[in-house]
C-alpha cells in the first residue's frame, strides 16, 4: 500500500466528496475576461486568492474553512490546520505585497493565532487535520496530523517574522512552535508517523518515502524543543527515481509534493548532504509532467487531446467522481491515464509552479483564464478543477490550493515568502543541522 493511501492521510478525509458541477462548453471561449499583461494578471490572481483568506476566516475565531464556493459563500463548517497555515503566511506577506495594510493583517494574524493556541484541539502540539471553524474541536474523526501541523507552523513562522515586534503575537507563535513534540511522532527507522488518533494511537503509516515530507522533517530537525535527530533526514527512501530528457529526479506524481516545501524553504541555492538540488528536482518534475500530459493527448485524443503546453497541470483535486490523488508521470516511458486521469485540469498545479517554471505556468494560467473566463475564474481565482472535454467544473475552491497559488505567485513577484520564512532561526537551523550547503 502506498504511504499516502491511508484514509487518514492529509487529503484522505475528503476523497469521497463529489463536487457540484457547472456547465463548461469545450472549444468555446466563454470568458468575458479581457487579455491583460502577465503582471496585471498575477496581481489580480494574488488579490483574488487573498480574498479567500479574508472571507473564509471565521469572524470570531479567525480559523479558516477548508473549502468554499468559488464565487463566494458556502464555506465548510470545518477548518483545516493547513489552511490556517497558508492564511497566516498570506497575512504575513500582505503588507509588503500591497494586499492589505500592516495593522489589518496583524489583527487577522492575532485572531487566528489566539484560536490555534486557546481552542484548537491538538495532541502534543499536533493540531487535528480538521477542526471546527467556530470552536476548534476535532471534526470527522480525523487524525492529529504531522504534515498539516508542519504547514500550519510554516505560517506561524512567517507570522513571527513579520509581526514579532508585537509581544502577544511573538508569544503565541513561540507557544505553537515550542509545544510541538516531534519526538513523540518518531517511529521505528527514524521516520515520523503521519499522525495520531484517540482511537488508534500512532497511525501505522510513516513518512518513509519521498513526498511532501521534506517540509515536516526539516521542521522537526530545526525545532527549538522536542527536535528529532538530524540523521532523520537520511532515514527515508529516495524513490521512485524517474528520468526526463537525461535528467533523473525523485518523483511523486501529484505536483503539490514538489511545491509545498518549495513555497517556504528556499532550496534554490542549497544542496543536500548527498549533493541533490531539491529545487532542480522540482523544476524537472514540472517539465516531466507537461511532457507526460502532452504524450497522453497524442495517445488518447478524444478524452485527453486538450492537454498540451498551453493547457496542463494535474495534482490532487476535485473531480466529477470525487476527490482524486492524481498526477504524473508514474513510470518512465509509460503514457497511460493512471489513477483514472480523465482530462481534468487543476489550475493550482500550474499556479503552484509559478516560481518554479514561471514561463510555462504563466502561459497556461493566462490561457485558462482567457479561454474559459468566469466559468472557471471567480471571486477567489480559479475553480479547484475543471474538465474541458466534458464540461465539468468544480463548484469549489480549496484553501490549501488557493494558498499555494498565492504564495508561489508572490515568490515569483518578490521572493517574499522565502525571505520572510527564511529569516526565522528554525529553517536556518534545519538546513544547517541536516547538512545542506550553499551551491
**Residue-range domain boundaries for the chain:** 14-438
Evaluate the omega torsion of the peptide bond into residue 71 and state whether it is cis, within 30 degrees of 0. Answer: no
Q: What pLDDT, on the 0 to 100 scale, is given for residue 26?
A: 42
Q: Where is 242: in which H helix or E strand?
A: strand 241-244
CA 322 vs CA 77, 227, 303, 385, 395: distances in Å = 19, 38, 18, 11, 12
Sequence-separated (6 or more) residues with CB below 8 Å from residue 378 = 48, 70, 71, 72
Give the residue ranges of the chain where pLDDT is below 70. Answer: 1-34
Q: What pLDDT, on the 0 to 100 scale, is given for residue 138?
A: 99
What is the three-class DSSP state of 271?
strand
- Alpha-carbon span 5 to 140, nearest angstrom: 18
Half-sphere exposure of 59 (CA within 13 A, CB side): 0
- Alpha-carbon span 403 to 411, nearest angstrom: 12
Q: What pLDDT, on the 0 to 100 scale, is given for residue 27?
A: 37
Q: What pLDDT, on the 0 to 100 scale, is given for residue 406?
A: 99
> What class does CATH assign to 14-438?
mainly alpha
Residues of 334-365 as b/e, b for ≥16 C-beta within 10 angstroms? Answer: ebebeeebbbbbbbbbbbbbbbbbbebbbbbb
C-alpha cell recorded at residue 317 = 483535486
- Alpha-carbon span 383 to 398, nearest angstrom: 9
Rg of the chain (C-alpha set): 20
Q: What pLDDT, on the 0 to 100 scale, is given for residue 24?
A: 58
Q: What pLDDT, on the 0 to 100 scale, is given for residue 35?
A: 82
C-alpha cell recorded at residue 217 = 522533517
Q: What pLDDT, on the 0 to 100 scale, is given for residue 74?
A: 97
Amino acid at each position: 500500500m502506498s504511504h499516502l493511501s491511508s484514509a487518514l492521510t492529509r487529503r484522505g478525509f475528503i476523497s469521497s466528496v463529489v463536487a457540484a458541477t457547472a456547465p463548461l462548453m469545450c472549444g468555446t471561449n466563454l470568458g468575458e475576461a479581457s487579455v491583460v499583461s502577465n503582471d496585471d494578471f498575477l496581481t489580480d490572481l494574488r488579490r483574488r486568492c487573498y480574498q479567500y483568506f479574508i472571507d473564509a476566516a471565521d469572524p470570531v475565531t479567525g480559523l479558516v474553512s477548508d473549502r468554499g464556493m468559488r464565487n463566494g459563500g458556502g464555506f465548510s463548517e470545518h477548518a483545516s490546520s493547513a489552511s490556517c497555515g497558508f492564511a497566516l503566511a498570506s497575512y504575513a506577506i500582505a503588507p509588503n505585497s500591497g494586499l492589505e495594510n500592516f495593522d489589518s493583517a496583524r489583527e487577522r494574524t492575532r485572531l487566528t493565532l489566539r484560536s490555534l493556541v486557546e481552542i484548537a484541539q491538538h495532541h502534543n502540539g499536533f493540531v487535528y487535520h480538521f477542526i471546527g471553524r467556530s470552536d476548534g474541536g476535532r471534526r470527522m474523526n480525523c487524525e492529529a496530523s504531522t504534515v498539516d501541523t508542519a504547514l500550519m507552523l510554516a505560517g506561524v513562522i512567517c507570522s513571527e517574522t513579520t509581526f514579532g515586534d508585537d509581544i502577544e503575537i511573538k508569544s503565541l507563535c513561540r507557544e505553537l512552535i515550542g509545544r510541538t513534540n516531534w519526538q513523540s511522532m518518531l517511529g521505528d527507522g527514524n521516520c515520523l508517523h503521519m499522525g495520531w488518533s484517540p482511537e488508534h494511537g500512532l497511525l501505522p503509516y510513516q513518512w518513509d518515502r519521498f513526498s511532501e515530507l521534506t517540509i515536516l522533517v526539516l521542521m522537526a530537525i530545526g525545532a527549538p524543543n522536542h527536535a528529532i535527530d538530524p540523521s532523520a533526514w537520511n532515514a527515508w527512501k529516495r524513490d521512485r527515481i524517474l528520468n526526463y530528457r537525461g535528467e533523473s529526479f525523485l518523483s511523486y506524481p501529484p505536483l503539490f509534493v514538489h511545491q509545498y516545501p518549495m513555497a517556504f524553504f528556499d532550496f534554490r541555492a542549497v544542496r543536500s548532504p548527498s549533493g541533490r538540488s531539491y529545487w532542480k528536482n522540482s523544476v524537472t518534475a514540472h517539465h516531466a509532467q507537461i511532457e507526460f500530459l502532452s504524450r497522453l493527448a497524442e495517445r488518447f485524443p478524444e478524452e485527453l487531446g486538450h492537454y498540451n503546453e498551453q493547457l496542463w497541470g494535474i495534482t490532487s483535486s476535485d473531480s466529477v467522481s470525487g476527490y482524486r490523488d492524481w498526477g504524473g508521470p508514474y513510470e518512465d516511458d509509460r503514457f497511460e491515464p493512471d489513477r483514472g486521469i480523465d482530462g481534468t485540469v487543476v489550475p493550482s498545479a500550474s499556479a503552484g509552479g509559478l516560481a518554479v517554471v514561471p514561463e510555462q505556468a504563466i502561459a497556461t494560467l493566462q490561457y485558462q483564464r482567457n479561454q474559459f473566463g468566469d466559468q472557471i475564474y471567480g471571486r477567489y481565482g480559479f475553480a479547484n478543477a475543471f474538465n474541458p472535454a466534458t464540461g465539468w467544473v468544480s463548484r469549489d475552491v480549496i484553501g490549501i490550493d488557493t494558498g499555494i497559488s498565492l504564495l508561489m505567485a508572490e515568490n515569483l513577484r518578490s521572493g517574499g515568502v522565502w525571505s520572510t520564512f527564511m529569516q526565522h532561526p528554525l529553517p536556518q537551523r534545519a538546513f544547517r543541522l541536516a547538512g545542506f550547503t550553499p551551491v
